[in-house]
Structure formats: structure tokens, C-alpha cells
Structure 1
């Protein structure tokens, strides 16, 4: 009951004008895992760089295999991989700065935290917060749309099935694992920013179509469900993607709250005073 009331208050609190922004008073949450016990963790630092190098490798291999005179960049799947790579790389840089206290990143945050003064949010943290949410939501949408509407239904061969599986399935799996480990929150109003990527992409596909663009096999579209020779189908796809964004945004917000509740419960059980809870 208490958890439901807390969630209800958090939900109402999300619809405030300041929640559009990227200011946050608990900056340590962007440098630490939700589940680490100490101020810094070598294992979390190692994890961040493994994840960053993985997505850098996926992007590099995909680019080499699928460049096709620049057509690599016309596909939303590849936009999603780039977003994942930027999110993981910026996260790795932040945790490295925190672990080694580069530029007094850790000492500054801890001092201001003790003084209970909300510190200014650095631009790299704002970027990380934005691109992480955008990459996660886009990965989930790409996975859903691909396996529901595109897999086996595109008029071209699947030349690289392993890379296709990584970029259309494991992208979501890995981003969800990362979402479960990070400590910073999800803000519902940030969904509006997440939607900018598909908006730009759909505008791009319209201009690309009227400019006579095609995919690597000469089809007059980027994806068959975005064939602008059939405008109603393309518009329906556009609307469906935005519905998915809202659904996934609410789900991620709810899971973020549950994750924080579970973390506090585990921390309380591990506390030396936990016997008082029995």
C-alpha cells in the first residue's frame, strides 16, 4: 500500500514544468550503479568500459559491412546503434572521472552533497541522461517493429544474420541490463525528447523519397512499412511508433521506481540495524 501511494505521488510529481529539464540534485547517481555499496566500484568501471567497447565494436563492424556508399546511415537501426554507442561511451567517461576523481569530479559532488546544496548539472551528464533514455527507448522500438513487421518480410537477403540479431535483438537486451544497473531516474516528460529521433528520421525518409533515394537494392524506400508511395501505411507506422514510445516510456518509468524501491529494501536488509525489521 505504501509503495502504491509513493508511486502515485511520484507520478503526479512528474508533470511539473521543471521535469522537462535535466537538472538533478543527486549527481552521484550518474556516476554510480544502483546496486554498488561503496562510493566507487572498480567492477562498475570495468563493466562500463566493456559495454562501451562492445557498442563501439558493433558500430564499427556494421559500418564496414554495410557502408554501401553511405546507405548505412539511412536505416533507423543504425541510428539506434550510434545512440547506444554514444550513451555507453559517455557513461564510461563519467564513471572513469568519478573513480579516479579526474577534475575533482567525485570530491566536488561529495562536498556539495554534504552541504546539501544542489550543484549545477554538468553538460556531459545532461547529454548522458538524454542519450541513454533515447537509445533505450529506440532500441526497444526497433526490436519490436523489426521482429513484428520486418523480419522475413523485406524484399532483400539477410546477408549478415549474426549482426542483424545483435542490432535488432541484443541491442534491447543489453540496454535493458544497463537500465537495471544505472542509478539515475527516468523522467516521463523526457519521452518528448526521445521522440525527436524518430521525428527526424521520418522527416528524413520523406525528403529521401522525393529526392529519388533508395535502399541498397534499389527499392524506393528505406523500409517497406515506410513506403511513401503508400502514404497511409507510412503514416500508420508513424503513429504506431509514437504509441510504442508512450507505452515503453511509462513502463520504464515504473520499472525505474520499482528498481529504486527494491534497492532500498536490499540495502535495509544488509544494514547492521536490519534485525529491527524482523
Structure 2
């Protein structure tokens, strides 16, 4: 019951004007994992760089195999992979700065925890926070839309099924795993920024269609469900994508809260003071 009341209070607390921003008092959460007890973790640093290298490899493979005279960049799937790459690379840089205390990062953050007014959130941490939410939500939308509406219905051959599986399925799996690892919170109002990306993409599809743009097989659309010859269907797709964002945003918020609750519970059980509770 107490957990339910705390969760309800946290939801109400989200709908404040300052929650649109990217200031956060617990800055160490951008540099460490939710499950990290020690100040530094070589395993987490290694994990961050493995993730970054994975998405760099996926994007490189896409460039080599599917560039098609630049057509690679017209697909939302590849926008998502680029976002995942930038997200993981930013996380790896932050973890590296923390682990080796570059520019006194760890010292500044730890000293800031003792101050009444914490230091400002670094721009890279704010950028990483925004990127992570945007990349994760977009990955979930891409996976959902592809496997329900596009798989096997694209009217074009699938030349690289392995790469397609990675960019349309494992992208979400890996980002969800990472979401369970990171420590910084989800803010519901940040979903407004996440939704800007599909708006930008839909404007791009209109401009691309109006300019006579074609896909790599000469079709006058990027995706069949975004064919502007049938604007009603395209607008319906647009509304459906926004509905997915509305659904996934509170789910991610709830998972974030549960992740934090579980971490605190496990830490309390590992504490010497917990012996009297057994």
C-alpha cells in the first residue's frame, strides 16, 4: 500500500513545469549503473564500451551493405540506429570520465552531493539523458510497427535478414536491457521531446515525396504505410505512432520506478543492519 501511494505521489510530482528540464541533483546516476555499490566499476565501463562498439558495428554494416546511394538515410529504422549509437557512445564517454576521474569529474560530483545547492547538470549528461529516452522509445515504436505492419509486406526483397532482425528487434532488446542497467530516472514530460522525432520524420516524408523522392527500388514512398498517394492512411499511421508513444512513456516511467525500488530493496538486504530483519 505504501509503495502504491509513493508511486502515485511520484506521478503527480512529474507534472510540474521544471520537469520539462534536464536538471538532476544526483549527477552520479549519469555515470554509474543502478546496481553499482562501489564508487567505480571496471565491469560497467567495459559494458558501456561493448554496447557502444556493438551499435557502431551495426551502423557500419548498414553503411557497407545498404548505403544505396544515400537511400539508407531515408528510413526511420536507420535514424533509430544512429540514435542508439550516439546514446551508447555518450554513455561510454561519461563512464570513462567517471572511472578515470577525467577533469576531476568524479571529485566534483561527489563533493556536490554534500552541498545544499548541487552543481549544474553537465551538458553531455543532459544530452545523454535526452538521447537515451528518445532512442529507447523510438526503438520500441520501430519494433512494434515493423513486426505488426511491415514485415513481409514491404513489396521489396529482404537482402540481409540478419541485419534486418538486429535493426528491427534486437535494437529494442538491447536498449531495454540498458534501460534496466542505467540509474537516471524517466521524466514523463520528456516524452514531449521524444515525440518531436516522428514529427520531424513525417515532415521529411512529405518533403521527400513532394520532391519526387524514391526508395532504393524506385517506389514513390519510403514505407507502404507512408505513401502520400493515400494521405488518409498516412495520417492514420502518424496517429498510431503517437498512440504508441502515449502507451510506452508511462510504461517506461513505471519500470524506472520499479528498478529504483528493487535496487534500494536489494541494497537494504545486503546492509549489515538488515540482519535483524531476518
TM-score by length of 2: 0.99
Task: Name the CA distance, whole Å, in 1 between partners of 2:250 and 2:239.
Answer: 17
Match of 1:191 in 2: 191
Match of 2:85 in 1: 85
Tell me the number of residue pairs that the alignment of Structure 1 and Structure 2 aligns: 278
Match of 1:17 in 2: 17
Does the residue aligned with 2:272 lie in a helix, a strand or coil? Answer: coil
Task: Name the CA distance, whole Å, in 2 between partners of 1:28 and 1:203.
Answer: 38
Task: Name the CA distance, whole Å, in 1 between partners of 2:55 and 2:38.
Answer: 27
Match of 2:210 in 1: 210
Pairwise CA distance, 1:118? 1.5
Task: Name the CA distance, whole Å, in 1 between partners of 2:276 and 2:235.
Answer: 58
RMSD: 0.6
Does the residue aligned with 1:159 lie in a helix, a strand or coil? Answer: coil
Task: Name the CA distance, whole Å, in 1 between partners of 2:176 and 2:276.
Answer: 35
Pairwise CA distance, 1:63? 1.1
Task: Name the CA distance, whole Å, in 2 between partners of 1:84 and 1:115.
Answer: 34
Pairwise CA distance, 1:275? 1.8
Match of 1:140 in 2: 140
Q: Deviations over 1:25-60 (max 9, x none)?
A: 000000000001101110000000000000011011
Task: Name the CA distance, whole Å, in 1 between partners of 2:14 and 2:191.
Answer: 12
Match of 1:164 in 2: 164
**Structure 2: any 5+ residue segments left out of the alignment?**
none
Pairwise CA distance, 1:196? 1.0
115-124 or 93-102: bigger deviation: 115-124
Match of 1:99 in 2: 99
Tell me if 1:43 matches 2:43: yes
TM-score by length of 1: 0.99
Divergent runs of 4+, >4 A: none
**Structure 1: any 5+ residue segments left out of the alignment?**
none
Task: Name the CA distance, whole Å, in 2 between partners of 1:196 and 1:141.
Answer: 14
Task: Name the CA distance, whole Å, in 2 between partners of 1:41 and 1:122.
Answer: 21
Match of 2:276 in 1: 276
